[in-house]
């Protein structure tokens, strides 16, 4: 199935333009007007049809969620038949459990809201530590969770000689392992890059305890701290300082989602981090690794699957 149009907002036009080129589809930027009271007026193309892809990453998410809740039904009124949301950073996925009575499980509610608005949601490295798949919290919609672990591993392997990839906690183990395997493959090594992961105890939003793996030889090693996201940067900063104190020759950071609130990036530099690299899931000055090819392949496959499901002309149903 041909992608009829890509829609995006002006602050993410660069990423959406790259996706439009990869999919050979026209791009339209949704116009926004903010009224004095803070309400938004959106203006989409006057006529849409077929499969429409909307790119919106949900860092600083609250206003953007309102944009999506207006843009999606408006696109349908204007003729879109199938809506795919490309949401490289999917917000509220970390709130996946009620730790106290009455606490809202935001993961479930935000995911359901998006599932009601879009047939397909494509995202990268969402926080899914307590559920098997994105589909589990997106009833009636298809959730596609991609991983940038391989991209980060390959980037590190090509820029740091013989790196040691180090994850921040036990939950990152499969992800770091995948990065180590992809990194090795990218430089023709037969075995995975050296890799390990720390143990983390969260004491508060900006207070964590990080324990390096016992007996991990760090003297003279080039360490790359690798994670799915960096928000306050405190976990990475503590890990970096401990690695350097243990004799590491250098510490770099590679993350999928560079949220970097307040002085997070400066904090990493102050703690001795040499380079900070991130993907363009969240537009940032550290964005060096494009996820567009990864997303384009997933969108192309999702559009083809939908075409087969509805029996679109020229595509045989299975």
**Enzyme catalytic residues:** 200
Cα(213)–Cα(196) distance, integer angstroms = 7
Cα(26)–Cα(20) distance, integer angstroms = 6
256, 229, 57: which is closest to 151 by C-alpha? 256
Cα(42)–Cα(248) distance, integer angstroms = 51
Cα(75)–Cα(280) distance, integer angstroms = 26
Please give the torsion angle defined by the CA atoms of residues 126, 228, 154 and 160, in that order, rounded to the nearest 10 degrees: 170
> Can you read off the two tokens belonging to residue 41?
């007026």
Taking residue 212's Cβ as centre, other Cβ atoms within 10 Å add up to 18
Cα(15)–Cα(294) distance, integer angstroms = 12
Length, in residues, of the chain: 318
The maximal CA–CA distance of the chain, rounded, in angstroms, is 63
Taking residue 215's Cβ as centre, other Cβ atoms within 10 Å add up to 5
54, 257, 55: which is closest to 151 by C-alpha? 257
Taking residue 76's Cβ as centre, other Cβ atoms within 10 Å add up to 15
Cα(90)–Cα(122) distance, integer angstroms = 9
Cα(164)–Cα(169) distance, integer angstroms = 15
* CA distances in angstroms from 237 to 42, 196, 254, 271, listed in the order given: 40, 17, 13, 6
Give the N- to C-terminal CA distance of the chain in Å, as an integer: 15
């Amino acid at each position: 199935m041909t992608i009829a149009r890509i829609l995006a907002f002006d602050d993410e036009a660069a990423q959406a333009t790259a996706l439009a080129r990869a999919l050979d589809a026209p791009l339209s930027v949704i116009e926004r007007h903010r009224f004095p009271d803070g309400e938004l007026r959106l203006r989409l193309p006057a006529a849409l049809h077929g499969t429409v892809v909307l790119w919106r990453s949900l860092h600083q998410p609250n206003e953007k969620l309102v944009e999506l809740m207006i843009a999606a039904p408006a696109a349908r009124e204007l003729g879109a038949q199938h809506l795919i949301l490309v949401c490289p950073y999917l917000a509220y996925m970390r709130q996946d459990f009620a730790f106290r009575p009455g606490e809202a499980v935001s993961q479930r509610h935000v995911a359901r809201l998006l599932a009601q608005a879009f047939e397909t949601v494509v995202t990268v490295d969402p926080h899914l530590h307590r559920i098997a798949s994105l589909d589990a919290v997106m009833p009636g919609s298809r959730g596609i969770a991609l991983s940038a672990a391989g991209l980060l591993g390959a980037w590190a392997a090509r820029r740091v000689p013989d790196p040691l990839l180090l994850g921040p906690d036990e939950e990152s183990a499969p992800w770091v392992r995948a990065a180590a395997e992809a990194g090795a493959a990218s430089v023709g090594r037969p075995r995975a890059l050296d890799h390990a992961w720390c143990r983390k105890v969260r004491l508060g939003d900006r207070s964590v305890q990080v324990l390096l793996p016992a007996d991990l030889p760090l003297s003279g090693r080039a360490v790359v701290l690798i994670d799915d996201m960096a928000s306050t940067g405190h976990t990475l900063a503590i890990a970096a300082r401990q690695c350097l104190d243990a004799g590491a020759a250098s510490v770099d950071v590679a993350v999928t989602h560079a949220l970097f609130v307040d002085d997070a990036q400066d904090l990493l530099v102050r703690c001795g981090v040499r380079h900070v690299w991130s993907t363009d899931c969240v537009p940032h000055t550290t964005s060096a690794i494009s996820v567009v090819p990864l997303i384009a392949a997933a969108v192309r496959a999702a559009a083809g699957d939908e075409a087969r499901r509805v029996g679109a002309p020229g595509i045989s149903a299975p």
